[in-house]
Amino acid sequence: MNSSHNSKPVLNTLKPALATGPILTALPPLSLYIHFPWCEKKCPYCDFNSHQVKEGQQGFDEARYIKALITDLETELPRIWGRQVHSIFIGGGTPSLLSAKGMNELLSAVRARVNLEPDCEITMEANPGSVETEKLAGFAQAGINRVSLGIQSFQDEQLKALGRIHNGEEAKRAIAIALQHFKSVNLDLMFGLPNQTLEAAKADIETALSFKTPHLSFYNLTLEPNTYFASFPPKLPNDEEIDAIFEQNLALLEAAGYRRYEVSAYAQKDQECKHNLNYWRFGDYIGIGAGAHGKISFPDKITRQVRERHPETYMQAMETKGNALIEAKEIPSKDLPFEFMLNVLRLTDGVDTVTFSERTGLTLNVVSKALDEASKKGLLDLNPNKLKATEQGLRYLNNLQELFL
């Protein structure tokens, strides 16, 4: 990561290969990501930019942080002028620690500054341990229309092992409350948990399915660097046991009418997450807040940004410089194929072949060698009009993606 603190983005000069004219004939859809960096307790598996609030006090200055977010958004407006925002995602940390009043102030400020599509999807992540009926009603009134609940498991023993602050009954209560206030609710579930059995994994999925939420995320616990679990790894199921859990629960999900549309995402008909689909289709997104990343396309270049990670440093930078960027650069043309494939090959339907040129400005022949190799290895679908992983390609996704490095 670049450690420079320039107040203005420093973009690389265009390479000769890209200097002959515009590389993009149309700009992709645009989303907005807002990062809330605090949580009540840091989970031992979490590698996200989250900071535990101090016990016995709120631990963060809500008004100050919201003001910084609004200023941050304003600095982005010249880069996205005239474009509509089709989805907003408020992630963390635990955004549900915000007050309903604070959420309303934030979303009102966003609506006053950017042009939202009429059916804009506005998602907030929530921890079942911080869900209250009155508060969720306030979030819905503020404009949140989709909630993603970090359930992970319904079993107290597993939740304790994962360092979660809620228990199984609180998880069920949170789902019931969320379903009263939001038309779309996602449940995050994990598998491959410490000492998890096939039966326990099945019970988790069956409990989740009983609520009939329109969307489920079902992903494998991995030991990420710089986490507590990386230093003190728990006993996890072996690869064969994890495969058995996945195959069992995939069958249960499909039988219940959920379609796997991305490596870890399952939805009922027409209930896919618009915001995440935009990421996976190599769309654009403004990223505001501590540690937020952004990607914005222009006719002649595609740029990325990264902001200060620590909330205090972020707020100070916004207050003193009006800018919290620590990195702002153009993506070199040689990196675009990998960045594109890293995302789109996660989708079970893949994308139309023409999307590669539309979103990168490059011709498909720059990846022809990698496409041939992936096809020969059985990792890529042979349909010439699709860029789509096979079942084997989805199972060995890292191997497939690496071919485009």
Q: Measure CA 174 to chain center.
A: 21
How far, in Å, CA of 7 to CA of 348, rounded?
41
Do 249 and 219 touch, CB atoms closer than 8 A?
A: no
Q: Which residues contact 71 (CB under 8 A, 6 or more apart)?
A: 318, 322
CATH class entry, domain 333-405: mainly alpha
What three-state secondary structure class fits 119? strand
Other CB atoms within 10 Å distance of the CB of residue 182: 20
Burial class (CB in 10 A: 0-12, 13-18, 19+), 12: exposed
Domains 16-278 and 333-405 share a fold: no
pLDDT of residue 54: 66
Do 132 and 95 touch, CB atoms closer than 8 A?
A: no
Q: Give phi and psi for 245, each to the nearest 5.
A: -60, -45
pLDDT of residue 7: 32
Other CB atoms within 10 Å distance of the CB of residue 399: 13
Amino acid in position 37: P
Question: DSSP labels for 250-285?
Answer: HHHHHHTT-EEEETTEEESTT---HHHHHHHTT-EE
What three-state secondary structure class fits 29? coil
How far, in Å, CA of 93 to CA of 85, rounded?
23
User: Which residue's entry shows tokens 């996704």?
Assistant: 397
CA distances to 15, 44, 158, 173, 331 from 162, in Å: 47, 7, 6, 19, 37
What is the chain's pLDDT, residue by residue, as a tens digit (405 residues)? Answer: 333 333 333 333 333 333 443 489 899 999 999 999 998 876 766 667 777 776 544 578 999 999 999 999 999 999 999 999 999 999 988 999 999 999 999 999 999 999 999 999 999 999 888 778 889 999 999 999 999 999 999 999 998 888 888 899 999 999 999 999 998 999 999 999 998 999 999 999 999 999 999 999 999 988 788 777 778 888 888 999 999 999 999 999 999 999 999 999 999 999 999 999 999 999 999 999 999 999 999 999 999 999 999 999 999 999 999 999 999 999 999 999 999 999 999 999 999 999 999 999 999 999 999 999 999 999 999 999 999 999 999 999 999 999 998
Question: DSSP labels for 127-155?
Answer: -GGG--HHHHHHHHHHT--EEEEEEE-S-
Other CB atoms within 10 Å distance of the CB of residue 338: 16
How far, in Å, CA of 344 to CA of 394, rounded?
11
User: Considering only CA atoms, which of 61, 57, 53 is closest in space to residue 94?
Assistant: 53
pLDDT of residue 11: 32
Q: What is the domain partition of the chain in residue ranges?
A: 16-278, 333-405
Q: Measure CA 189 to chain center.
A: 15
What's the fold here for domain 16-278?
TIM Barrel (3.20.20)
**H/E element holding 398?**
helix 397-402
pLDDT of residue 6: 31
How far, in Å, CA of 166 to CA of 155, rounded?
10
Torsion, CA 367, CA 371, CA 372, CA 378, rounded to 10: 160
